[in-house]
Amino acid sequence: MFATLSDRLADTFKNLRGKGRLSEADIDATAREIRIALLEADVALPVVKEFVGAVKERARSEEVSGALNPAQQIIKIVHEELVTILGGETRRLRYAKSGPTVIMLAGLQGAGKTTLAAKLALWLKDQDKTPMLVAADLQRPNAVQQLQVNGDRVGVPVFAPEPGNGTGNPVEVARASIEEAKRRLHDVVIIDTAGRLGVDQTLMQQAADIRDAVQPDEVLFVVDAMIGQDAVTTAQAFLDGVGYDGVVLTKLDGDARGGAALSIRSITGKPVMFASSGEKMTDFDLFHPDRMASRILDMGDMLTLIEQAEKAFDSEQALKAAEKLGTKGGFTLEDFLQQMMQIRKLGSMTKIMGMLPGMGQFRDQLENFDEREIDRIQAIIQSMTPAERENPKIIDGSRRARIAKGSGRQVSDVNQLVDRFFEARKMMESMARGGGMPGMPGMPGLPGGGKRAGAKQQAKKGKSKRVSGNPAKAAQQAAAQKAAAAERAANPFGNPEGADIDYEKAAEQLNLPKDFSKFLK
């Protein structure tokens, strides 16, 4: 969504690097580039003027002129101002003190209200609530049926006494739903109202009548983040006609420029509370202004990644895998497959990698990453026998041919997977012993991906060392090789004993951006 804005801002900040002090001309040039970047992203003009004015004022102050690194200070100022226009602090739902909490959804037709109602219901279930969906959109054909289907998908009951398709009284349906929720002991009621093709006064009045009938605790305005400047006009019209407490942004995974998200909060004064970023029912969460600002500036979003990992990963299974890594050869292909399946629960690999700091420079590679690679890995491993998964060293040429045929892949694919597994196991076992990273096995489809040619070269180097026929000498050689291997594992980056690790060099050896050095520390 914010790719264009992120790239433009990154180019702007590059021009400031290496400057010991910012001149008035530097500040004006930077402000001009930021203004162009925001306007290209469809941010409303009044918001752009306010934002650029605040950045220029702070850039001229002592906090920059007295700083050791003015470029970093400018980035810090832009980040803080982005957080401000996005709403500052995260706004959470207000729950009723007694009786069910009533949440009413309003917005234009096509914004994704009906799907979002189910996503919100699933999110509330995860918060230990018992929501009920209400089909009060009786205008759009099959809207009631769509909500019932979505309710079944997320396991939430739907109150739908009227078939819809232009018949029935939505105000009475909404009013009756409150009594039904009390009778069935639901603590949250989510009312899906009719969408509008435009600012329709008749349907706007209908939404106001539903609001007056049920007195909702929260009225949420659902807006398509891809509609650009029109989002602000529509948001203001709904604010005047119906009124709402917060905004929900849908389709944040689209390729539009995203200016709506940066404009609505400043124009209407109402916070963005939730964001929907995909087609899956789980692609929905609270909107965090500080995290969104960090994503725009390519600083990553590690907090969201950690939260998603905590939800997806089985801690007991992870503990068992960690114990296996403590013993040489204990980690098997079966464990490897289980770890891959847990990673899949996090969602799209492109999204996961995009949450890491500095990944903006790899955007092209991420966009071209084949999400089906995990499916291929799963097919190959599941085509192996239990013995082969337990001990991959027994997989010889004939076994590899059989596995390739069973998984519908090439023998070279099986070879690459087995080689990558051994590299990954070696790295993880070294880390489990506290020996640092001996090397980062590349992910398939990304720069640094495991290559069979490299494995062959290493194998040749290992074979070139001859073992003496004298048993005593052979034992000495083996002991020396073991000691050297232990030293390399404990000191993978070759720094003298007791000296500090050169983390920038470590990041370079691991095929990571230099900015990752601070995370290695």
DSSP letter (8 states) at residue 330: -
| 122 Cβ contact partners less than 8 Å away, ≥ 6 residues apart | 154, 155, 156, 281, 282, 284
Q: What is the pLDDT of residue 352?
A: 66
Of the segments 365-379, 424-438, 493-507, which one has the largest average pLDDT value?
Answer: 365-379
Average pLDDT for 120-138: 92
Average pLDDT for 50-70: 74
Say if CB 272 and CB 264 are below 8 A apart.
Answer: yes
Say if CB 517 and CB 503 are below 8 A apart.
Answer: yes
Residue 222, pLDDT above cutoff 60: yes
- Going by their DSSP bridges, the two strands 158-159 and 188-192 should be labelled as unpaired
What radius of gyration do the chain's Cα atoms show? Answer: 28
The arrangement of strands across the sheet holding 246-250 comes to 158-159, 131-135, 188-192, 101-107, 218-224, 246-250, 272-276, 284-286
Helix (H) / strand (E) element for 241: namely: helix 230-241
Please indicate whether residue 15 or residue 189 has the higher confidence score (pLDDT): 189
Say if CB 236 and CB 268 are below 8 A apart.
Answer: yes
Residue 124, pLDDT above cutoff 90: yes
Residue percentage of the chain with pLDDT more than 90: 17
Q: Which residues are annotated as a binding site for GTP?
A: 107-114, 192-196, 250-253
Distances (CA, A) of 188 to 161, 225, 458: 18, 26, 61
Residue 210, pLDDT above cutoff 70: yes
Say if CB 441 and CB 420 are below 8 A apart.
Answer: yes
- Per the structure block, which two tokens stand in for 38? 């925001």
Distances (CA, A) of 295 to 103, 276, 279, 288, 370: 29, 16, 20, 11, 22
Nearest to 392 by CA among 373, 368, 419: 419
Q: What is the pLDDT of residue 40?
A: 78
Q: Where residue 195 falls among pLDDT bands split at 50, 70, 90?
A: confident
pTM assigned to the model: 0.61
Q: Where residue 100 falls among pLDDT bands split at 50, 70, 90?
A: very high
Q: Which residues are annotated as a binding site?
A: 107-114, 192-196, 250-253
Helix (H) / strand (E) element for 100: namely: none
Please tell me the number of Cα atoms within 13 Å of 233 on its side-chain side. Answer: 7
52-86 exposure pattern, b = at least 16 Cβ within 10 A, e = fewer = bebbbebbeeeebeebeebbebbbbbbbebbbbbb
Q: Where do the domains of the chain lie, and which CATH numbers do they carry?
A: 3-85 (1.20.120.140), 101-299 (3.40.50.300), 306-457 (1.10.260.30)
Residue 201, pLDDT above cutoff 70: yes
Distances (CA, A) of 401 to 372, 414, 416, 497: 22, 8, 13, 46
Q: What is the pLDDT of residue 438?
A: 40
Q: How far apart are CA 275 and CA 295, in angstroms?
A: 14
Q: What is the pLDDT of residue 159?
A: 93
Distances (CA, A) of 17 to 2, 65, 69, 519: 23, 15, 8, 21
Q: What is the pLDDT of residue 272?
A: 86
Q: How far apart are CA 113 and CA 146, in angstroms?
A: 11
Q: Where residue 326 falls among pLDDT bands split at 50, 70, 90?
A: low
